[in-house]
Each structure stands twice: as C-alpha cells, then as structure tokens.
C-alpha cells in the first residue's frame, strides 16, 4: 500500500472516531428529553405541554387513567395540571388539594416535586383570586345596571310630570277671548 492511501485511511478513521465521540456527548446546558417512564418534575412539565396537543376526548381519557393509577406525587402533580388545564372542566380547588398533599409530603419521591407543586399551586391561587375579582366586578356591573335602569325609570316619570305641568301651564296661560270679563 502506498503511504498516501494509508494516510487517507488513518485520516478518515480519525474523523469517523471524532464524529462518533461527538455524537455520544451532549452540549453544555442541553437538556435531555424526558422519557415516558420517568417520574421527574421535568417529565411533568413535558406532560403539561402534551396536554395542549390533546383533544377533549383524549383529555377525558387521560383523567380516567390518572384516577386509576397509583397516586404517587408524580401522578398527583399531573392530575392537578390536568384539573387546571384551560381545555377541560376545571376544578382548581381539587387541583390545589392534590398539590397541597404533595407539598406536605416528606417522602423522598415527593421532594423533587415541591418547587413545581408550589409554582402550580401559586398559579392556581392567583387564578382563583382573579376569578373572584371578576365575579365581584360582574356583580357590581349588574348592580350598577339595575340602579341605572331604576334611575332612568324615575327620570321618565319626572319627565311625564313635567310634561303634564307644562300642559297645565299652557292651558292656564292662554289668552282669553276678547270681550270676556275677568
């Protein structure tokens, strides 16, 4: 063999080895994808993103599945996420109860979920607060509309009385026919 061919083979082998080694390493800061069987907070976040791609029927089936499986902290966080998802009939109170259960748990499996559960619970509390404010403002608007309607009715009645008084005044202030005595 010629030294030139040998040189090319070694160079290609070196490049191939470098490419294989580069494929086996991950870049700093790159996150690994959560596997389906993982029970980590990252997997729960990936689960939440997946909820947005589900149809209402799939969300209903997912709820039945989560009720049927053992209630681990991971399952409780996922169920709470499902209960607060905008595309399902929401039950933030039940979701908060599940998250509170995770937060109060001292078992090792629950500890990694504490920050995520706290964040989701804070979000649900804020949403409940905003819903309460919205309900209060809605009631204030109805009260205001009712009062405005009542005031309009009073104004209409007053206008009728003014019109009646104006008619009476016109009849009283008509000039008398000539030759009539006063």
119, 96 contact by CB (below 8 A): no
> Residue 44 — pLDDT band, cuts 50, 70, 90?
very high
Higher pLDDT, 9 or 70: 70
CB-count burial class (<10 Å; 0-12, 13-18, 19+) for 88: middle
127, 84 contact by CB (below 8 A): yes
Owner of token pair 């309460």? 132
Percentage of residues in the chain having pLDDT higher than 90: 66
Q: What is the mean pLDDT of residues 28-32?
A: 41
Residues 6+ apart with CB under 8 A from 81: 44, 47, 48, 51, 95, 120
pLDDT above 50 for 7: no
Tell me the domain boundaries of the chain.
33-132
Per the rule left: phi > 0, alpha: psi between -120 and 50, beta: everything else, 177 is: beta
Residues 6+ apart with CB under 8 A from 110: 73, 102
Owner of token pair 């409940």? 128
- Residue-wise pLDDT for 100-138, tens only, equals 999 999 999 999 999 999 999 999 999 999 999 999 999
- Residue-wise pLDDT for 69-105, tens only, equals 999 999 999 999 999 998 888 999 999 999 999 999 9
- Residue-wise pLDDT for 12-27, tens only, equals 444 334 433 344 443 3
| Summary mean pLDDT of the chain | 82
Sign of CA dihedral 68, 70, 75, 76: positive
What distance in Å separates the CA atoms of residue 32 and residue 23, rounded to the nearest whole number?
Answer: 14
pLDDT of 6 = 52
Higher pLDDT, 171 or 17: 171
Task: Concatenate the DSSP letters of all residues of the chain into one string.
Answer: --HHHHHHHHHHHHHHHHHHHHHHS--TTPPPPPPTT--SHHHHHHHHHHHTTS-HHHHHHHHHHHHHS---HHHHHHHHHHHT-TTS---HHHHHHHHHHHHH--STTTGGGHHHHHHHHHHHHHHHHHHHHHHHHHHHHHHHHHHHHHHHHHHHHHHHHHHHHHHHHHHHTSPPPTT---
> Residue 31 — pLDDT band, cuts 50, 70, 90?
very low
């Amino acid at each position: 063999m010629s030294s030139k061919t040998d040189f090319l083979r070694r160079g290609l082998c070196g490049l191939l080895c470098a490419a294989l080694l580069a494929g086996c390493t991950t870049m700093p800061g790159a996150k690994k994808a959560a596997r389906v069987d993982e029970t980590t907070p990252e997997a729960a976040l990936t689960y939440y993103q997946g909820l947005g791609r589900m149809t209402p029927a799939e969300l209903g089936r997912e709820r039945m599945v989560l009720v049927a499986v053992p209630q681990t902290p991971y399952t409780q966080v996922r169920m709470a996420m499902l209960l607060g998802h905008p595309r399902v009939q929401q039950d933030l109170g039940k979701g908060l109860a599940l998250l509170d259960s995770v937060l109060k748990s001292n078992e090792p499996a629950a500890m990694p979920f504490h920050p995520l559960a706290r964040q989701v619970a804070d979000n649900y509390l804020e949403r409940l607060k905003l819903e309460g404010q919205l309900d209060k403002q809605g009631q204030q608007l109805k009260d205001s509309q009712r009062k405005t309607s009542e005031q309009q009715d009073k104004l209409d009645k007053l206008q009728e009385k003014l019109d009646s008084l104006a008619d009476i005044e016109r009849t009283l202030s008509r000039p008398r026919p000539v030759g009539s005595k006063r």
